[in-house]
Chain A
Amino acid sequence: MGGFRVHTVRNPVYKDAVVMEEAVRITHRARTRVAAVAAVAGAAALALSGCGSGGDDGGETPIASAAPSHLTGTVSLWHFFSDREAKVIQGVVDDFEKANPDVKVVVHPGQDDEKLRKAIAAGNDVDVAVSYSTDIVGNFCQSGAFQDLAQYIQRDKVDLGQLLPTVRSYTEFDGTRCAMPVLADAYGLYYNKSLLAKAGITTPPKTLDELEADAIKLTTYNADGSIKTLGFNPWMGYQEMAPAHLAPATGAQWLDENGKSLVGTDPGWKELIEWQKAFAAKIGTDKLKKFTAASADEFSAQNDFEIGRVAMNLDGEWRVAFMKDQAPKVDYGTAPFPTGSDHTDLYGGGYLTGNIGGIAKGSKNPELAWALLKYLTTDTAAVVKLANGLQNVPTITSAYESPDLVRDPQFETFLKIAQDPHSLTTPPSPNGAGYQLAFGDWWQKYQSVPGTSDLDAELKKVDDQINAAASLNSVP
């Protein structure tokens, strides 16, 4: 307690004076300290108000009227791939460098979205960035983390019509095209041919009711009544069982044109929820929970479908590569995911999502960055090479016509799903996947509640929650 001293004084007048003097000194000192703290806080706040990697200038920087005839310089590419997949990317980058001998691409592999966003915000050397999630598009377009590509696309006369329509929709937000697709993921149904044949099922189900009937026929039980093998696991949250992946079965929509939630008003959602909950109840909620809890990691060699623990499964096209690698002996087939009985016209579509790439805010070589991005996303040979190597579906129509595209019979299904006009995606939103998480969390809880409650009222609450959360990212 430095600075505080108590004197022994006999004269009360003098004592008061000393106390007063001390009080004044302390008050003065305290004021000085408060002022100093306030000054630091004020200065920090002032400094912070200008933070955010340089503020928003709002306007677009004009670009050269023509694309450079000869490319030179260094450009950085950040992506999230690692190991084998990173080598596939490197192969295409090598081709780009070969075609442009005076260009050096510095590749930063293994960079997830969080690192990417921090790097862009900190003004690190990021030119081209590839993300694994379409969920970032809304925020990256709105915040300017990815630059608007309109000028480049217009100048170089890039035909956006060559992009698959669904893919095209998830790479732009609110009229701003800040991203280009770097391959896509398509979801469909995997079925174990041997198990289906044993149960006397000759063709994969085409409607949700057929799926349920087949699944119940395929389910076997242990002596104690617990599930031994399951026809299809309808438990929400199990592996790829997510609202987004089911939505194309009824054409359920997420958001309206103003970004407001539609989960409470689109009848497709209610249909899916009621079907899923009744299906789970038919098998037995507790049994399903126990069965699901005993499952191994989805991406391990002990994957339920790969070891025959489930006969049919909702999964992405990447499982074809996993099956080749981890379960080559399993006799399986692929098909579009079944649709609601009243939505058979939608059969053939599925959920589509994918990787996206963009030019980072603050890119020091935007022309080079655009040249690399354009090559990775619109050059037919490059896209085909990536698709063959990464075992994802291509995103441009010319790649589908290429004789070089490897067409595995099981993979073919997903190529068709990707091109199907009924395929759906999750729309970009400024708060990323927030609306999907809110709905998914609610659904997972709802399926555990026995009986039926007022579903409309419950969904209205989810709507309100999603809309309220969206206000946290709104632009005034």
Chain B
Amino acid sequence: MTALSPTRPAGVPSAPAGAAAPRRRSGLRRHRQRVALLLVTPALLGLLIFFVYPLVATVFYSFTHYDLVSSPRWVGLANYRYLFTQDPNVVQAARNTLWFVVFMVPIRILCAAAVAALLTRPRRSTGVFRTVFYLPALVPPVASVLAFVYLFNPGLGPVNRILKVFGIEGPLWFNDPQWAKPSLLLLAIWMMGDVMIIILAALLDVPRDQYEAASIDGAKGYQKAWYITVPNLRPVIVFSVVTGVIAALQYFTEAAVAAGVASGKALVGEGTGSGLGYPEGSTLTYPQWLYVEGFSNYALGYASALAVVLFVVAAAFVVFLLWRTKSFTGSGS
């Protein structure tokens, strides 16, 4: 069996020199432990207050009927029973959210990687293009959505007018149940700057000598990409996938604002779910349904059950992704 012994600073004797030494060392260790505990206390408190407490609270409330004002009433598994057997909206919301996970995450990463690859080549205008492609990520999401819904407005927007010039009858975009999600996908691609920038950094970090060595060995372009570029990008891709999946599972703001603006109804300040999901529930995401139940229908207990299920799914997704990508990254991330 391999011996793994605790690391010991150089110069520290391996065995006690006398009877007092163990006591001194034990005292020193306790002191160090106390200092360490003191140093991590703020972080631990933050973890307890902002993660553990809300998590335990959510789990507890998920077994109750609760409206925020009166005391929660214990109802056992009633909320979960309703969630899995009776709520028709949760199926639609989960399906929509899954759509965003399946399409938005990989397409966004692929587009970001493609743009990043084009922007690695040193040219005079490279800096300008890097800025241009990153800029949308700096725009507040609400403003981006407002602009996008206007651009794609079937009657007033320029996109359909331009398409018409070429004899193409544009779709209704955000107003069509079939096109609303793809329209949001286009918006997400436009806002891919955050992913693009880290992939660009990773691409620029690939050692040049590896490409030179491969060239000497006669490797072709695609072989260099597959055997050199992709392996170097693995950690960044895994990071983008994990954060992308979590963001897609929590997708809310863009879909909510798009629904409100496209439906022609001001939702700001209403605090209700009356416009979410427009058109015909096609953009209703799981977190939005959770919000509607909690803050519009006053069923915070049920909303907590929805939150618990979302947490479990997100955690399972992440664990699965990290497990599957262990071999891919070679480091277990």
Interface residues, chain A, with chain B CB atoms under 8 Å away: 5-9, 40-41, 44-45, 48-53, 55-56, 80, 110, 112-115, 117-118, 120-121, 132-133, 135, 139-140, 142-145, 237-239, 289-299, 361, 430-434, 437, 440-441, 444-445, 448, 465, 468-469, 471-476
24 of the cross-chain contacts (CB-CB < 8 Å) are A5-B5, A44-B56, A48-B57, A52-B70, A110-B269, A143-B68, A143-B298, A290-B172, A293-B154, A293-B155, A293-B262, A295-B155, A295-B264, A296-B156, A296-B264, A433-B274, A433-B297, A434-B297, A437-B273, A444-B279, A468-B86, A469-B299, A471-B82, A473-B297
A361 near B69 with CB under 8 A, answer: yes
> Do the beta carbons of A289 and B172 come within 8 Å of each other?
yes
CA distance A117 to B277 in the complex (A): 24
A302 to chain B, nearest CB (A): 9
Given contacts A6-B3, A431-B297, A472-B299, contact A55 B280 (CB under 8 A): no
**B154 and A290 contact, CB distance less than 8 A:** yes
Tell me which of B72, B82, B271 contacts A468 (CB under 8 A). Answer: B82
A304 CB to closest chain B CB (Å) equals 9
Given contacts A5-B4, A237-B278, A469-B82, 13 further A-B contacts (CB under 8 A): A7-B3, A44-B57, A48-B57, A112-B269, A143-B68, A144-B70, A293-B172, A293-B262, A298-B264, A434-B297, A445-B281, A471-B82, A472-B302
Interchain CB contact under 8 A, A289 and B296: no
- Are B154's CB and A49's CB within 8 A? no
Rounded to whole Å, the gap between the CB of A431 and the closest CB of chain B is 4
Cα distance A411–B88 in the bound complex, in angstroms = 42
- Interchain residue pairs A-B with the least CB separation, the first 9: A294-B155, A293-B175, A114-B271, A434-B297, A8-B3, A472-B299, A143-B69, A44-B56, A52-B71
Q: For A476, what are the chain B residues with a Cβ–Cβ distance below 8 Å? A: 73, 75
Chain B residues positioned under 8 Å from A289 (CB to CB): 172, 175-176
Q: Which of A53, A432, A437 contacts B69 (CB 8 A)?
A: A53
In the complex, which residues of chain B have a beta carbon less than 8 angstroms from the beta carbon of A441? 89, 277, 280-281
Report yes or no: B153 in contact with A56, Cβ–Cβ below 8 A: no
A41 touches B56 (CB 8 A): yes
Q: Which of B58-66, B185-193, B325-333 contacts A (4 or more CB under 8 A)?
A: B58-66
Query: Which residues of chain B in 278-301 are interfacial with respect to chain A, using CB atoms and an 8 Å cutoff?
Result: 278-281, 292-293, 295-299, 301
B65 touches A237 (CB 8 A): no
Interface centre among A7, A55, A142, A473, by most B CB within 10 Å? A473
Chain B residues with CB below 8 A from A120, complex form: 69
User: Complex Cα distance A294/B277, Å?
Assistant: 18
Which of A52, A430, A471 touches B298 (beta carbons < 8 Å)?
Answer: A430
Of listed B52, B68, B73, B153, residue having the most chain A CB within 10 A: B68
A114-B295 contact, Cβ under 8 Å, with A51-B72, A297-B264: yes
Would B56 and A294 count as touching, CB distance under 8 A?
no
Cβ–Cβ < 8 Å partners of A110 in chain B: 269
A52 touches B66 (CB 8 A): yes
Choice from B154, B280, B292 contacting A294 with Cβ under 8 Å = B154
Judge whether A48 and B3 touch: CB under 8 Å: no
Say which residue of B88, B280, B297 sits within 8 Å of A448 (CB atoms).
B280
Give the interface centre of A239, A296, A434 by most chain B CB atoms within 10 Å: A434
In the complex, residue of chain B having the shortest beta-carbon distance to the beta carbon of A474: B65
- Asked whether A139 and B65 contact (CB < 8 A) given A293-B155, A296-B264, A472-B299, the answer is no
Whether B261 is near chain A, meaning CB under 8 Å from some CB there, is yes
Q: Given A8-B1, A296-B156, A472-B297, verify A56-B86 contact (CB < 8 Å).
A: no
With an 8 Å Cβ cutoff, the count of chain B residues facing the other chain is: 65
CA distance A55 to B48 in the complex (A): 24
Bound-complex Cα distance A237 to B271 (A)? 18
Q: Are A6 and B79 interface neighbours, CB within 8 A? A: no
Residues on B with C-beta less than 8 A from A52 are 66, 68-72
Q: Assuming the A-B contacts A49-B72, A445-B281, A468-B86, are A473 and B299 also in contact, with contact meaning beta carbons closer than 8 angstroms in the complex?
A: yes
Determine whether B14 belongs to the interface, using a CB cutoff of 8 Å to chain A: no
User: Would B2 and A473 count as touching, CB distance under 8 A?
Assistant: no
Task: Give every chain B residue within 8 A of A292 (Cβ-Cβ).
Answer: 175, 264
* Closest partner residue, chain A, to B266 (CB atom): A299
Give, as a whole number of angstroms, the nearest-CB distance from A246 to chain B: 16
Chain A residues near B6 (CB-CB < 8 A)? 5
A296 to B73, CA, bound (A): 45
- Residues facing A in B242-285 (CB within 8 A) are 261-266, 269-274, 277-281
- A133 and B298 alpha carbons, distance in the complex (Å): 14
User: Could you say which residues of chain B place their CB within 8 Å of the CB of A44?
Assistant: 52-53, 56-57, 60
Q: Is B67 an interface residue (CB 8 A)?
A: yes
User: Which single residue of chain A is at the shortest CB-CB distance from B66?
Assistant: A52
Residue of chain B at shortest CB distance from A146 = B69
Q: Does A45 contact B155, Cβ atoms closer than 8 Å? A: no
Q: Mark B107-120, 1 if CB is under 8 A from A, else 0.
A: 00000000000000
Contact A139 B156 (CB under 8 A): no
How long is the Cα–Cα vector from A56 to B72 in the complex, in angstroms?
10
